[in-house]
Amino acid sequence: MTTQAESRAHNKIHWEALAPLWMAWWQRFGPATQPVSDWMVAHARLGPGTRVLDLATGVGEPALSFARALNGRGEVLGVDQSERMIEYAREQSMGLNHLQFEVQDLEQLNLHHHEPFDVIVSRWGLMFCSDVAEALRQARSCLKPDGILIGAVWGIPERVPMLNLASQALKQALDRELERLGPGPFSLSDPAWLQTQLTAGGFRLETIAPVDVVLHCESAQAYLSERAEMATSLAEALANLTPEERAKYNSALESAAQVWCPQSDSERLELVNQAICFVARQIPESLS
């Protein structure tokens, strides 16, 4: 059984290695995911002097979106455990005032040198925590008493083909599943479980809503090539297939991909992925 320490160590190594590929992919992924950042900004009730903390900011989102929205009228701090990710985030933040980035693990926060924040945000970060409730309790200690948490996680696998289509075909064609060390992108996809974790972390869910992330691919094989580049376990699984198994897999992938073809006579895919966005408020200490 994987320990929490092993899971955290794996996460750090994984995202540090993935950073260059992630940044190269950002030209496509960034615009596709902007609606999620926009939803988060719209629900933050920003004003002069607002202080925002972005947990697991990656290459800078949604910290960059919040900094643009505040336009120098507040402060934004983005933290991530990957030094490479933070380097890329700083490169993207050139010209933006009152925006900083630090190397910090959201499961082991050390932010006592900062004033409390009005808003804490996390876009697809909490779902990779080895202990979500404990991470939320740490985050809560950085919030002002009336502060809020705004987050985004992925919906159920069937509603996130960008991440699930390739592994779905592997399961259908060859009855094989990809292994992962530690929590994966769908660990908080059940709204009921998400609410349970929020409550355990000292937050009360106020608002929850789906937001679509649409990604276009030229074909099923183009999608697969891109996905395998970003997912090491998938690339390894595909590399170990026999020619007969690969043919069977390709057939299953093409079949599964047909659902996402907007036109029956086209190979082009329109992958509509569901993010779950939410707003939560701290439960008063006397009630938690």
pTM for the predicted model, two decimal places? 0.93
Number of domains within the chain: 1
**CATH code where residue 203 lies:** 3.40.50.150
The DSSP code sequence of 10-31 is HHHHHHHHHHHHHHHHHHHHHH
Indicate whether 74 belongs to any domain. Answer: yes
Query: What H or E segment, with its residue span, contains residue 57?
Result: none
Query: What H or E segment, with its residue span, contains residue 76?
Result: strand 75-80
pLDDT higher than threshold 80 for residue 1? no
What is the residue-averaged pLDDT of the chain?
A: 92
pLDDT higher than threshold 90 for residue 3? no
Calpha distance 281→113 (Å, rounded): 23
Task: Summarize pLDDT for 135-170 with one digit per residue, the tens.
Answer: 999 999 999 999 999 999 999 999 999 999 999 999
pLDDT higher than threshold 70 for residue 238? yes
Indicate whether 136 belongs to any domain. Answer: yes
Indicate whether 236 belongs to any domain. Answer: no
User: Which residues constitute the domain of residue 14?
Assistant: 4-157+180-214+273-282
- More confident site: 13 or 64: 64
Indicate whether 169 belongs to any domain. Answer: no
Q: At what angle do helices 243-257 and 220-230 cross, to 10 degrees?
A: 110
Indicate whether 287 belongs to any domain. Answer: no
Indicate whether 258 belongs to any domain. Answer: no
Indicate whether 238 belongs to any domain. Answer: no
Q: Are 98 and 76 in contact (CB under 8 A)?
A: yes
